[in-house]
Amino acid sequence: MLRQAAVVPAAAALAPRPVAAGRPGLCLTWQRYLTALALAVATFFNGGAARADTSDFATAVNALGQPSGDAVTSAAQTIGASGDARALGLLEALRDGAVIVTDGGEVTLRDASGALHDAVTGAPVAATGHPATLDNEVRRVLDPLIARLELKSPAPDVRLAAVQTLESRSSEDDAPVMRDALASEKVAPVRRALVAALAELDLASNDPQRRLGAIAAIQETGSIRFRSTLQGLVTKQDDGTYSEPDPRVRSGAQSALAALDRKQFMVDGAADVMYGLSTGSILLLSALGLAITFGLMRVINMAHGEMLMIGAYATYETQAFFHAHLPEHESWYLVASVPVALGTCMLVGALLERSVVRFLYGRPLETLLATYGLSLLLIQTVRSIFGPQNVAVENPHWLAGGTEVFEDVVIPYNRMAVVLFTIAVVAFVSYMLRGTSLGLRVRAVTQNRPMAACMGIATRRVDTWTFALGSGVGGLGGVALAQLGNVGPELGQSYIVDSFLVVVLGGVGKLMGCIVAAFSLGILNKVLEPIAGAVLGKIVVLLAVILVIQKRPQGLFAPRGRGAEGT
């Protein structure tokens, strides 16, 4: 079998291959032809590479010391095919220029410290020398040889990289080695890569049976990048013929294409849902505080966006503090910024409530205007403190990067963290409202204020606390937004319209409605984006919201019962 493998290059050189021969990289010069022939002859006389004994290996290693590039090339190929355990290290050393030919003609390896060792026995050698011949021809041969050897490496990463190297070379010579590797491969991503690489080779072969097999393999793995290749097989050329002569292969390609399309659709759908969850969680974070101030208290807080902005700036300040005073824990500033942002925004919220908002209870339109004025004041204040430019909030190292869930669908860690953070904030809010005595008071006051007052609840103080809580939750949203985008004085302005839509759509006063509305808007947005473009998608979403409100004026989750008609 390996003998055959060694002979193939020669055969390949002689037999023109219809597809591959057109590529310039594979145009065989007569030197390469000679090299291949020499190798074939050499392996023939060696009686098969697999059975090559140590002395053959040693001969080949010694041949590396020759000044001629062709000789080195053929020696490297012999070493690569020998199956010897030392082969990989030796070839890598050759590639890296660490194979030193001593003045006495001995081939040695230079280790990291610069000392020389005999390439075959490993014994130390005290001599001076020059690096082995390493011209472009040698380099070209070395890479696939090393990659083939690396296919047997115990580390999956190395194997995967090796498959990719071989695949990019796309040479028929590698097919048998890859088939061997596939038979023993256990790790799924490497298997997929191997199958894909083999399928690409097989598709280019002359044998219809191999092409059929390749198409079956493509259909099985469902690798989307073969779509255009398959499309080429089943499309008529300009002269009315198919590039693929065999009708069986064409029909196979046709059904494989259909399968790929189905899979693509599923993957796209899943990706849309995931990106939509991410967008939705941002919407939810920005709307959740509003669901308290607007939903529970009926205060139209147009300055809510500025709470997000203040939360983001609090994050920035925490980062600056950690940078200055606790540089060794700098990446944990994010954890510290959560209570900081919550506290800052609660304080600002309480101040606003005490100074302005409380005088406007029961007058929603005036509240709208006054809080809009507050938002302008807050923006301008922040602008005069921090300057009009965006400030830089960096992701801590444990949020950098991402993971590939499907082919070409990468979810960054910070997006995932935002989704988790949103869940935590929702849990926090519902605990505050359902599980604490403050929450009990808040609900009592919003449901029946005079009765709550009769029971001895200080309703004014509860108002302040509720407003502060809503603002604080907005600040938590700001922490998350600071991880995703720019932090500037106008950060909040871009979220306020969407937040209000979410609260109105969800049904005022309903936490669950807010959650459902945020995620459905987020997913709808992401599904529409590729179809209609980002802007038109947004407009369609808006029209959809208006239509939904037509149908259900109280929002998706309308409050029922006696309290329902009050609004």
Partner 1 sequence: MTASMPPAPAPPKERRAASVLLEAGGQATLPPLSRRRARPLWEIWAVFGICLVVGVVVPLLNVVPAETSALHLSEFFVSLIGKLTCYGIVAVAMDLAWGYAGILSLCHGLFFALGGYAMGMYLMRAIGTEGNYRSTLPDFMVFLDWKELPWYWHGFEHFGFAALMVVLVPGAIAYLFGFFAFRSRISGVYFSIVTQALTYAAMLLFFRNATGFGGNNGLTDFKRIIGYSLREPSTKAALCAISGLALGLTYLLARAVVGSRAGRVLTAMRDVEAKVRFCGYDPVAYKLFVWTLSAVLCGIAGALYVPQVGIINPSEMQPSNSVEIAIWVAVGGRGTLAGAILGAFLVNGAKSWLTATFPTAWLFVLGGLFVLVTLLLPGGVVDIFAALARARGNVARGIRGAQSKAVAPAPSAAPAGPVGEEPRP
Among 33, 242, 321, 361, binds partner 1 (CB under 8 A): 361
Residues 6+ apart with CB under 8 A from 406: 267, 270, 271
**Is the Cβ of residue 259 or residue 453 nearer to partner 1 in the bound state?**
453
- Residues 91 and 59: beta-carbon distance below 8 Å: no
Q: Which is nearer to partner 1, 137 or 490 (CB)?
A: 490
Interacting residues with partner 1 between 529 and 548 (CB under 8 A): 535-536, 538-539, 542, 545-546
Does 370 help bind partner 1 (rule: CB under 8 A)? yes
504 binds partner 1 (CB under 8 A): yes
Three-state SS at 238: coil
Q: What is the residue type of 552?
A: R
Binding of partner 1 at residue 369 (CB under 8 A)? yes
Does 300 participate in binding partner 1 (rule CB under 8 A)? yes
Least distance in Å: CB of 240 to partner 1?
Answer: 34
To partner 1, the closest distance from the beta carbon of 390 in angstroms equals 18
The CA-based diameter of the chain, rounded to the nearest angstrom, is: 106
Among 335, 376, 405, 455, binds partner 1 (CB under 8 A): 376
Q: At what angle do helices 2-14 and 30-46 cross, to 10 degrees?
A: 160
- State which residue, 105 or 533, has the beta carbon closest to partner 1: 533
Nearest residue to 77 (alpha-carbon basis) of 128, 8, 17, 26:
8
Q: Please work out the total of residues on this chain that contact partner 1, with binding judged by CB under 8 A.
A: 53
The answer to whether the CB of 315 falls within 8 A of the CB of 482 is: yes
Question: Quick one: which of 16, 236, 550, 560 contacts partner 1 (CB under 8 A)?
Answer: 550
139 and 165 Cβ atoms separated by less than 8 Å = no
Which region among 38-46, 250-258, 275-283, 497-505 touches partner 1 (by CB under 8 A)? 497-505
Task: Determine if residue 342 is left, alpha or beta; phi over 0 gives left, psi from -120 to 50 gives alpha, anything else beta.
Answer: alpha
Examine residue 365 and tell whether it contacts partner 1 (CB under 8 A).
yes
Of residues 392-451, those binding partner 1 (CB under 8 A): 446, 448-451
3-class state of residue 128 by DSSP: coil
Nearer to partner 1 among residue 326 and residue 539 (C-beta): 539
Per-residue burial over 10-37, b if 16 or more Cβ lie within 10 Å, else e, is bebbeeeeeebeeeeebeeeeebeebbe
Please state, in angstroms and as integers, the Cα–Cα distance from residue 459 to each residue in 130, 438, 454, following that order: 89, 11, 10
Report in angstroms how near the CB of residue 356 gets to partner 1 at its nearest: 6
Q: Can you tell me which of 169, 191, 354, 358 binds partner 1, judged by CB under 8 A?
A: 358
| Site for partner 1 contains 553 (CB under 8 A) | yes
Q: Which of 277, 309, 374, 476 binds partner 1 (CB under 8 A)?
A: 374
Tell me: does residue 384 bind partner 1 (CB under 8 A).
yes
* Residue 375 makes contact with partner 1 by CB under 8 A: yes
Q: Which two tokens stand for residue 301?
A: 């807080």
Residue with tokens 């939903």: 295
Separation between Cα atoms, residue 97 and residue 110, nearest integer Å? 9
Cα separation of 489 and 392, whole Å? 13
User: In the set 380, 389, 403, 436, which binds partner 1 (CB under 8 A)?
Assistant: 380
Q: Nearest-5° angle of CA 493, CA 496, CA 497?
A: 110
List the Cα angle 66/68/69 in 5-degree steps. 110
Can residue 501 be called a binding residue for partner 1 (CB under 8 A)?
Answer: yes
Among 242, 372, 406, 413, binds partner 1 (CB under 8 A): 372
Site pattern 452..491 for partner 1 (x: CB under 8 A) = ----------------------------------------
Among residues 174 and 306, whose Cβ is nearest to partner 1? Answer: 306
Contacts of partner 1 in 22-41 (CB under 8 A): none
User: Of the candidates 261, 366, 404, 408, which one interacts with partner 1 according to CB under 8 A?
Assistant: 366
DSSP string of 295-357? Answer: IIT----TTHHHHHHHHHHHHHHHHHHHHHH-GGGGGGHHHHHHHHHHHHHHHHHHHHHHHTG
β-bridge mates for residue 131, sequence order: 100
Classified as helix, coil or strand, 156 is helix
- 3-class SS at 406? strand
318 or 466: whose CB is closer to partner 1?
A: 466
Q: Which stretch binds partner 1 (CB under 8 A): 166-174, 234-242, 362-370, 407-415?
A: 362-370
Minimum CB separation of residue 376 from partner 1 in Å reads 3
Cβ neighbour number for residue 356 with a 10 Å cutoff: 16
- Please, which residue, 477 or 489, has the CB nearer to partner 1? 489
Q: What is the dihedral of CA 324, 326, 327, 330, to 10 degrees?
A: -110
Residues in contact with partner 1, shown as a per-residue x/- string from 259 to 298 under the rule CB under 8 A: --------------------------------------xx
* CB nearer to partner 1: pick between 360 and 457: 360
Query: Quick one: which of 224, 360, 409, 444 contacts partner 1 (CB under 8 A)?
Result: 360
Q: Is 359 in the site for partner 1 (CB under 8 A)?
A: yes
- Which residues are at the interface with partner 1 (CB under 8 A)? 297-298, 300, 302, 356, 358-370, 372-377, 379-380, 383-384, 446, 448-451, 493, 497, 500-501, 504, 535-536, 538-539, 542, 545-546, 549-551, 553, 562, 565-567
